[in-house]
Amino acid sequence: MVSGATADFYFHRTLEILRAEGLNPVVDMEVFGQRDGLLCGVLETCQLLRQSGFEGELWAMAEGEPFKAKETAVRIVSRYQSFGLYETAILGTLASSSGWATAAAECVEAAGGAPIIGFGARHVHPKVADVMDYASMVGGFTTVSTPAGAALRGVEASGTMPHALVLIMGDTIEAARAFDRTIDPRVMRTVLVDTFHDEVEEALRVAQAMGDRVWGVRLDTPAERGGVTPDLVVELRARLDVAGFEKVRIFISGGLDPAKIRRLREGGVPIDGYGVGSYVSGARPIDFTADIREIEGRPIAKRGRLPGRQRNERLRRIL
């Protein structure tokens, strides 16, 4: 990114021309989104400019702050050659990160306070998985599944056991016991209970075998078996309670989106937490546009845009 290898090539040619012509004016460039959303990518933009040796001013709304379509979210004031090459990277960073953060925030609102963990890393290229995970936490997710993503937010990654462990161990209880013997006791024991047997039966077996050692159970029933249904969760909660395991939490995952989460919550389905992946990873980026509004203090703009610095009291200088 700093080398400009990810920049649209016409920016390279623009800089070549401006250097040849001896032109390097101070410009005011403003960046805005084409639809409402939650802003994310400001800190990464700041990092890019710092690493490039940028000398100028960077003003922006706060990371995680909601913005309106066409509202100036970022303002750069500097000599054009010091940052012009990075327009592509800045817009792409804000577009993807804000799209992911906005999708995460929609899930968080639907969940009504129940924690959500980001499971989206397996749906994107690993080069951007950490950035996507960071954006989902800006959007309100409690944590995420990758250490790299969690580190960007200064939290611990979350994860207990995949189906692979249960299949290799040959039994859910044996997998749970092995996890308990091996993994740091500070890690909450949440056991996957949909691999070999009926989910309710498996959860009861685990609770009886592990006792107070089990923190919760996770349902990830595949679509081939009907997925995680409200009736399944309600029955599981009832049978755990009757058996004296009222403290065992129920965590669900698998194809969740805001509409499904909201239906579950409004239906009174007793769920303690959610895992959300593809809704965030597949979120549509929010298109961002960068426009020069002033050159050497003189208001200017292309047709269809307003010349001059656009007022936004929420912008704060960060560079």
Every domain of the chain and the residues it spans: 9-99+285-317, 102-281
What are the average pLDDT values for consecutive 10-residue runs of the chain, which has 319 residues? 95 98 98 98 97 96 98 98 98 98 98 97 97 98 98 95 96 97 94 95 96 95 91 97 97 96 96 97 98 98 95 96
Q: What is the CA radius of gyration of the chain?
A: 24
CA distance 257 to 266: 14
Beta-bridge partner residues of 27: 78, 295
For domain 102-281, which architecture applies? Alpha-Beta Barrel (3.20)
| pLDDT at residue 63, as a whole number | 97
Residue 253 has a pLDDT of 95
CA distance linking residue 181 with residue 199, whole number of Å:
23
Q: Is 104 helix (H, G, I), strand (E, B) or coil?
A: helix
Predicted pLDDT at 139? 98
pLDDT, position 258: 98
Instruction: Please identify, in words, the CATH class of the domain defined by 9-99+285-317.
Output: alpha beta
Amino acid present at 29: M
Measured CA to CA, the distance from residue 107 to residue 103 in angstroms comes to 7
Q: Return the sign of the alpha-carbon dihedral for residues 166, 169, 172, 178.
A: negative
State the pLDDT at residue 132. Answer: 98
Whether 169 and 178 have beta carbons less than 8 Å apart is answered as yes
Residue 71: the pLDDT is 98
Amino acid occupying residue 4: G
pLDDT of residue 317: 98
Instruction: Note the pLDDT of residue 201.
Output: 96
pTM of the model: 0.95
- What are the angstrom distances between the C-alpha of 215 and each of 9, 188, 268? 53, 6, 22
- Residue 313 token pair: 């009291």
| Spatial separation of the C-alpha atoms in residues 247 and 243, rounded to whole Å | 11
What's the confidence (pLDDT) of residue 85?
A: 97
Dist CA 315 CA 297 (whole Å) = 19
CA 60 to chain centre: 20
Q: Which helix (H) or strand (E) holds 78?
A: strand 72-79
Confidence (pLDDT) at 197: 92
Q: Tell me what pLDDT residue 38 has.
A: 98
